[in-house]
Copies of this chain bind each other. A is one copy, B any other.
Amino acid sequence: MAGGAGDERSVAERVFAIADAFERGGELTLSEVARRANLPTSTAHRLLAEWVSWGGLVRGDDGRYRVGMKLWRLGVRQPTARRLREVARPYLEDLLEATGEHVHLAVRDGLGVVYLERFSGPGAVRVISDVGSRLPLHATGVGLVLLAYAPPEVFAEVLAGPPRKFLPNTLTGEAELRSRLADIRSTGISRSVEELTRGAFSVAAPVRDSAGDVVAAVSIIAHVERRDEPQFPLGVRMAARGISGALSIRR
C-alpha cells in the first residue's frame, strides 16, 4: 500500500521522501524513486515534477533524475560544514601528503557520523565512507571519537539501537564500548582495526572549538599492514590540533 490510502504522511513529508531517495546519490528512474519513497508512481511523478520545476532535482535526457544545482547551492550554505571544511582543508592535505591514505573530517549527526571531507591517496584502501555519507557512530573511528565526547543520552541511544556487528571486531557490547570510549578520552586518540572494513585500520582524534567542545573528528583509514607505523597517530593528532587552533582564531 505504497503511499496510498492509509499513508498518514503530510504533503511536506511526501515531498521530503522524494529527496530522501537521493540520499546515497546517483541517478534514479521514476520507479526507483517511487519505490524508495514508498509512494504510488503517479504521486511520485507529480512530486518529482514539482522538484524539477523548483530546481532541486533535474531530469536528464535519459529520463533519470538526479540532484540539481539548487540543492547544491542550499547545501553549501550549511554553516558548520562550510566553516569546518574551509578551516580544515590545508591540515587534511598535509595529512594526506604525509600518509597517502584516506583522510577524513567528520561530524556527529544524531546517532550517525557524517563525512564532511575526504582526501585519498591513489593507492588507498577500499572503504565505504564518502563525502556526504552517514555511518553508525559505534563502527567508525571518527564515530567513536565523537561518541566519546557526546552527551550520555547519545550513548544510551546507541546501545538501544542495538549497535550492528559489521565485522567480528566491531564493538557492540556496552562494556567494551565503554572501555573504548574511556580510552579515547584518556589518550585523545581512537585506534580501530577492521571494525567496519576488512583490511583497514583507522586512527582518529577530536577537533575542538574555541570553547573546548569537541565539534568534529579527523581520521586516517589505511591498509591494516601499516597499523604500527608511527606517523598515523602523530599525523592525526597534529592535524586535529591544527584544525582546533585554526577554529579558535578564525571567524
A interface vs B, CB < 8 Å?
10-13, 15-16, 19, 22-27, 47, 50-51, 54, 56, 66-69, 71-82, 107, 109, 114, 131-134
Contact = CB atoms under 8 A, between A and B. Distances in A.
B71 A75 contact: yes
Nearest to A60: B79
A19 B15 CA distance: 13
Pick from A12, A16, A75 the residue with the most CB of B within 10 Å: A75
B77 A76 contact: no
Contacts of A23: 73-74, 77
A246 to B, nearest CB: 14
A135 B10 CA distance: 35
A76 B27 CA distance: 14
Given A11-B11, A12-B15, A16-B54, A78 B74 contact: no
A76 B69 CA distance: 10
B67 A114 contact: no
Contacts of A56: 16, 19
Contact of A50 (B13, B67, B78): B13
B73 A67 contact: no
Contacts of A68: 78
A162 B74 CA distance: 27
B109 A69 contact: yes
17 contacts: A16-B56, A23-B73, A23-B77, A66-B77, A67-B75, A67-B77, A68-B78, A69-B80, A69-B107, A69-B114, A71-B74, A73-B132, A73-B133, A74-B132, A75-B78, A77-B132, A82-B131
A72 B24 CA distance: 13
Pick from A22, A25, A47 the residue with the most CB of B within 10 Å: A25
